Amino acid sequence: MKVDNLMTPRVVSVHLDDSLAQVHDIFKNTHFHHLLVVENGRLRGVVSDRDLFKALSPHIGTPGETLRDRATLNKRVHQIMSRNPITLETGADVFDAVALLNEHTISCIPIVTAEGKVAGILTWRDLLKGLEARRKQKSS
């Protein structure tokens, strides 16, 4: 099975200089847990919801919120993103993805074309859904 069959082709991307307020809004309004950082059509990094939560003040949105807490929303994506993400090219085998997820402390793999353009994103959850679907196909 190929990663193309399991990846999520609809990705949400942000730019290096986008604010964490924008990232916060995206995570709050979608079911995504990873955003791809793209510049001039090329993948530059990944921002996870965990990266965002580590970077923001825990007092945002609480009665104790201060201006200093709120200022953490003005940080930029390039300040918190994971750079040089581990990727796979379209057409790669899913077992290559499993090996990468097991070898590195990552929870997603951006899938890129041979030209380096973003084609999708693959998470461990996508892999589990694919395995479940395959089992259901075999049992029916």
Strands 108-112 and 88-89: parallel
Task: Supply the pTM of this predicted model.
Answer: 0.88
Quote the number of domains for the chain: 1
Tokens coding 70: 């709120």
Residue 105 has pLDDT above 90, yes or no: no
Domain encompassing residue 19: 3-139
Q: Kindly give the interhelix angle for 124-139 and 94-103, rounded to the nearest 10 degrees.
A: 140
Residue 138 has pLDDT above 90, yes or no: no
Residue 140 has pLDDT above 80, yes or no: no
List, for residues 32-75, the tens digit of each pLDDT value. 999 999 998 889 999 999 999 999 988 888 898 899 988 999 99
pLDDT: which is higher, 133 or 37: 37
- Residue 111 and residue 88: Cα distance in Å, rounded? 5
CATH code, 18: 3.10.580.10
List, for residues 89-98, the tens digit of each pLDDT value. 999 999 999 9
For residues 94 and 2, is the Cβ–Cβ distance under 8 A?
yes
